[in-house]
Amino acid sequence: MLALVLFVPMMSFANEGMWLVSLLNRMQHAEMTGMGLKLTAEEIYSINNASLKDAIVRLNGGQCTGEVVSDKGLIFTNHHCAYDAIQSLSTVQNDMLTNGFCAKSFAEELPIPGFEISFLVRVEDITQAVLENVKAEMGEADRQAMIQARLMELQVKAAEGGKYDVDAKSFFYGNEFYLFVYETYRDIRLVGNPPESVGKYGGDTDNWMWPRHTGDFSMIRIYADAQNQPADYSKDNQPYKPKHFLPMNIKGVEEGDFAMIMGYPGSTDRFLSSWGVKQALDLTNPATIEIRDLKLKTMKKHMDADPAVRLKYAAKYASTANYWKYFIGQNKGLTRLDVYGKKQKQENAFSDWVSKDKARQKEYGEALQVIKDYYLATDATAKSNVYALEAGLIGADLTLFAFRFSRTFDAAMKETDTAKRAAILESFKATSDEFFRDYDQATEKDVLSELTKLYRANIPLADRPEWMNVIDKKFKGNVDAFIKKMFASSFLVSKEKLEAFLAKPNQKVYDKDLAVMMGKGAIDKYRATFANPAQEKFDIGYRLYVKGLREMNPEKQYAPDANSTMRITYGQVKDYQAADAVQYSYYTTTRGIMEKRDNSNPEFVVPDKLAQLIEKKDFGRYANKNGELVVCFIADLDITGGNSGSPTIDGSGNLIGIAFDGNWEAMSGDIAYEPELQRTIVVDIRYVLWVVEKLMGGKNIVDELKYAK
Tell whether 216 and 336 lie within a shared domain: no
pLDDT at 442 over 50: yes
Structural domain contains residue 542: no
Q: Residue 605 in contact with residue 226, Cβ under 8 Å?
A: no
CATH number of the domain encompassing residue 682: 2.40.10.120
Tell whether 435 and 293 lie within a shared domain: yes
Tell whether 196 and 82 lie within a shared domain: yes
Tell whether 645 and 612 lie within a shared domain: yes
Q: Residue 15: what pLDDT?
A: 53
Domain boundary among 528, 551, 574: 528
For residue 87, give its domain range: 2-116+186-269+559-704
- Region 548-574: mean pLDDT is 95
Structural domain contains residue 53: yes
Q: Residue 578: what pLDDT?
A: 93
pLDDT tier at 17, thresholds 50, 70, 90? confident
pTM, rounded to two decimals: 0.90
CA distance 423 to 434: 18
Tell whether 363 and 459 lie within a shared domain: yes
Annotated catalytic sites, by residue? Answer: 80, 216, 644
Closest C-alpha among 105, 111, 84 to residue 186: 111
| Sequence-separated (6 or more) residues with CB below 8 Å from residue 63 | 81, 642
Tell whether 399 and 441 lie within a shared domain: yes
Tell whether 507 and 583 lie within a shared domain: no
pLDDT at 633 over 80: yes
pLDDT for 282-292, tens place per residue? Answer: 999 999 999 99
Which own/partner contact pairs does 597-604 have at CB distance under 8 Å and 24+ positions apart? 602/203, 603/200, 603/201, 603/202, 603/203, 603/204, 603/205, 603/206, 604/201, 604/202, 604/203, 604/205
Please count the structural domains in the chain. Answer: 2
Structural domain contains residue 554: no
Structural domain contains residue 167: no
CA distance 156 to 128: 18
- Region 458-462: mean pLDDT is 91
| Sequence-separated (6 or more) residues with CB below 8 Å from residue 320 | 292, 295, 296, 299
* Chain mean pLDDT for the chain: 94
Tell whether 376 and 291 lie within a shared domain: yes
Tell whether 365 and 468 lie within a shared domain: yes
**Which of 15-24, 107-116, 237-246, 360-369 is predicted with the least confidence, judged by mean pLDDT?**
15-24
Structural domain contains residue 304: yes
Structural domain contains residue 303: yes
Q: Cα torsion for 379, 383, 386, 392, to the nearest 10°?
A: -140
- Region 141-162: mean pLDDT is 95
- Region 19-28: mean pLDDT is 87
Residue 690 CA from chain centroid, whole number: 28
pLDDT for 309-348, tens place per residue? Answer: 999 999 899 999 998 999 999 999 999 999 999 999 999 9
pLDDT for 187-228, tens place per residue? Answer: 999 999 999 999 999 998 999 999 999 999 999 999 999 999
**Residues composing the chain:** 709
Tell whether 260 and 290 lie within a shared domain: no
CA distance 85 to 116: 11
Is the preceding peptide bond at 195 cis, omega within 30 degrees of 0? no
Distances (CA, A) of 155 to 6, 47, 130, 150, 180: 38, 18, 11, 9, 9
Domain boundary among 487, 509, 528: 528
Written as one string, the DSSP assignment of 625-674 is TTS--EEEEEE-----TT-TTPEEE-TTS-EEEEEEEE-GGGGGGGTS--
Q: What angle do CA 424, 429, 430 make, to 5 degrees?
A: 110
Written as one string, the DSSP assignment of 169-197 is EEETTTTEEEEEEEEEE-EEEEEEE--HH
Written as one string, the DSSP assignment of 268-285 is --TT--HHHHHHIIIIIH
What is the arrangement of strands in the sheet containing 258-263, beginning at the earlier edge strand? 19-20, 567-572, 258-263, 647-649, 655-662, 680-684, 630-635, 587-589
* Dihedral over Cα of 623, 625, 628, 630: its sign: negative
Structural domain contains residue 300: yes
Tell whether 433 and 450 lie within a shared domain: yes
Structural domain contains residue 149: no
Closest C-alpha among 333, 306, 349, 259 to residue 92: 306
Tell whether 508 and 363 lie within a shared domain: yes
pLDDT tier at 92, thresholds 50, 70, 90? confident
Domain boundary among 506, 528, 550: 528
